[in-house]
Structure 1
């Protein structure tokens, strides 16, 4: 680990000010990702600005217009178990609890969850070429062991995937991200925050240096009646998704008024295809229609030597998750959904 200085921010404007003038100045909150990146020499820091002393943005609150605001400095655990989230956004609660471990969820913050970096083996191995870590050096995963890697939205420069569970649900919910920076406050729709790799895989998202995430706004509609989150992985705990799916449905009887389907573990950002959701609108909530939507979502999917199985896995996971969303009680431990 490289030497760095450490300071505490008294407020968000203070943190913004302390980040200025040096790209090596970085924020630390829960520290569940950046400490790994520093220890393995994947990133370096000249100064770490600790935002934990900031008193604002540590709460979850209902807004007057019916939306709910998640403070960026609230931990993942406190978010998942918050009564407002459990009641109105159970899809988000379920997705958060599928991620990491209880110890990490107790430390990790909502803002940090959005900013975590890929867990690609080659990204973490500084002795191998990686365009995300060292632009222009090559992508070792394309010709290497690529079982966990992308099948959608990848490029010739990078096939890494984004690891978050929470963000898959936020994508399905159409969340909005609140940001404060040198130029003031702004909002970014969640769909526009994370980036596909293209020829700049080293840039994960559209947060500029010197900007700080302060909150995440959830819309009024949380799909509390019909939702499901499924995570397919190698072991039940503390394992990243091979494929995950977040589904929210608004139903009138057996007719779909609105559908949201987002995938994780398959691309450089949470993957959502609006054409598939538009196809389901006004149609019966049947296995056949969900299968057609799955085919639309997976158009153009491309596998590699070790991960081609993820295409069919994703197809089946989408259908199963949509069916599970028809009866959220089927997701309780020990339940046997009729699929």
Structure 2
């Protein structure tokens, strides 16, 4: 005999796995398959569902095509999860951070988990103030609004990654005159950065509306693929259509998301090898970078009464250059020469723009 505890645990897992409302008959069929026991009676399943509803582990779902049947879905307490109050606060902060930085569609997908965390906070907090006033996240930098994408595209990509499947993606490359290109690709990983979502993928084939692909000197990467049989990073909000493909595309032999080969498409890295960075800092940046180092091997020594020299090893990335330019009044780049020249020339161009004031 299968006791009621095992049956009810299985019922909850079936509803969690499906992620939608199911009829009593459909749930019962899945339960019989779960235990490979078709002698179970549907009335027993119905009693179990009603008992789970009383415990708020299951709730009445939306009516489906079978108007005579009851429908069920997971309830507020549907997670087999125990959170301490402090763990719940950490989880709530993660949700808040994700929502602030451009990912509300993703937090909506996890509403029940978020409710589980907030319930624990409310239950254990002795303060009367709303929990939303106790946890927050933010940044000093101006946040750009996220690019708008179709959430259904993200669902298809996530499913393809889990199923090791291939996709056919209609894409809108930048600086291509508004034409759309079709990529047959293998989705490998998703990256959430700068309020946007990027897909790391291996493109097998491209189909352009014209007979010829873009000229060889056309800038590609991130705003389009890097060509057939190559890795790339594509922006989710530039995807016009996403469809699953019947073709089986083998991915790269050794795919590592943190490798230089993958990261250079996502982060814009100048050069394959790390650089030896040397900076001269004002008191303001000395204070900031001693509390928040640029790298693990960072060393800071005093150069003069109000100047400090910093040295460290890291990659020459777009992010590093933006940081140096945004703090140009408090930082002098001493080395390497290529970054010093980049900062100098960028500041010269900026000064010429404002020269007429």
Same fold (TM over 0.5): no
Bigger relative contact order (CA 8 A; separation at least 6): 1
What TM-score does the superposition give when structure 2 sets the normalisation length?
Answer: 0.24
What TM-score does the superposition give when structure 1 sets the normalisation length?
Answer: 0.24
**Considering only CA atoms, is the larger Rg found in Structure 1 or Structure 2?**
2
- Structure with bigger helix share is 2
